[in-house]
Amino acid sequence: DCTMLYAKKAASRDGKMLMRRACKCRFQDPSDPDCKDYSQTALDCIIKNVQPVEHDEEVWGVERACRTKHPAP
């Protein structure tokens, strides 16, 4: 559901990719090695804030801000 609701609606190419990763790490497979740098709160932050971002470089700024504000344990 997460991918259908959020990833497909992301405004940028990297946003779509990051949303798919966030959905996977949050709801499907949190033990995947790609997920080790993200806390569950950071993933929620990414899912809430990446969708409307139109430029790829800005998407990575949102990702970094969420990771920094909500570090992985």
Residue-wise pLDDT for 29-58, tens only, equals 999 999 999 999 999 999 999 999 999 999
| 7 pLDDT above the threshold of 90 | no
Give how far the C-alpha of residue 25 lies from the chain's centroid of Cα atoms, to the nearest Å.
9
Please state the pTM of the whole predicted model: 0.90
Of 11, 47, 1, 27, the residue nearest 63 (C-alpha): 47
